[in-house]
Amino acid sequence: MLKIALPNKGRLADDTRQLFGEAGLDIRATGDRALTASLGGEFTGLFVRAQDIPEFVADGAAAAGITGWDLVCESGRELELLMDLEFGKCRLVVAAREESGIQKLEDIQDGVRVASSFTRLTQEFFSKRGQKVTVVPVSGATEIAPHLGIADIIVDLTSTGSTLKMNGLHEVGTVVQSSARLISRKGHLPEAAAKLEELRQALGSVLAARGKRYLMANVPRRVLDTVREVLPGLNGPTVVDVQGGDYVAVHAVVPAKSIYRTIAALKNLGCEGILVTRIERLMP
């Protein structure tokens, strides 16, 4: 059975667990130690730290894995990106103290000390820009480094920016945009590649469904053409005759984001019996 490396704890673990559950690949522990688990009887899950996953996958200890794109880039290993999973969104940014006088990347002088746990990406980022900085490696709490006087600026992950702000830091530039990704090693044999494609589709169908709703409504026949414009659906709405009546039943897949407006529009057109449900999986 193919092994899939998954984050055992931390920010990405819960969302990963939920995604696999929704894709019909429930995580069931197989031994006393929580290192491995069955993923719906289809794959073996290998639970390790998010930052170790690029190495595990690149070295072939697992056929594929889920981890943050920032960690994949920092590893420097050549890996294949199979899918963006759209959770764990964050940015690796350059940040400076409010009073540093550094407002933009160009303000960073040669010789500046940059604290980061992403030493490789930091070095590469400034080298490419032709700026000669000194990278100070730290393993956590990067945001306090400028206050301790061990660095002038930092390169750290942020999503809302509130931790930076709380520490009197402001963003100066972005090194990399990240989110959780499904990655694999290049050059799998056809059988393994097919199995990974199956996994990619299963996870993708859950993600595709999250942004959509299934809508049903009874539509007066005379406004059907207008309703078709309101409900483009996947391949146009499904229209079912309601026997002997002036109404037709219309079913469509609609964006969750605009459901409020869609319902209001249908109501205004005289539609009745409007029903909206979640979709578990969507494979167009």
Binding residues for ligand AMP, rule: CB under 6 A, are 7, 10-12, 50, 68, 70-71, 88, 90, 157-159, 178
Report in angstroms how near the CB of residue 145 gets to ligand AMP at its nearest.
16
Q: Both tokens of residue 228? A: 């078709």
* C-beta closer to ligand AMP: residue 6 or 271: 6
Instruction: Please report the sign of the dihedral spanned by the C-alpha atoms of residue 12, residue 13, residue 14, residue 17.
Output: positive
* C-beta closer to ligand AMP: residue 158 or 184: 158
Q: Both tokens of residue 58? A: 């690149």
Report in angstroms how near the CB of residue 15 gets to ligand AMP at its nearest.
9
Quickly list DSSP for 200-262: HHHHHHHHHHHTEEEEEEEEEGGGHHHHHHH--TTTS-EEEEPTTSSEEEEEEEEEGGGHHHH
* C-beta closer to ligand AMP: residue 143 or 219: 143
* C-beta closer to ligand AMP: residue 73 or 202: 73
Cα-Cα-Cα-Cα torsion 153, 95, 145, 107, nearest 10 degrees, comes to 20
CA distance 69 to 2: 22
Report in angstroms how near the CB of residue 197 gets to ligand AMP at its nearest.
24
Report in angstroms how near the CB of residue 68 gets to ligand AMP at its nearest.
2
Helices (H), 60-189: 69-75, 119-128, 145-148, 162-166
Report in angstroms how near the CB of residue 165 gets to ligand AMP at its nearest.
13
User: CA-based angle 159:165:171, to the nearest 5?
Assistant: 65
* C-beta closer to ligand AMP: residue 51 or 201: 51
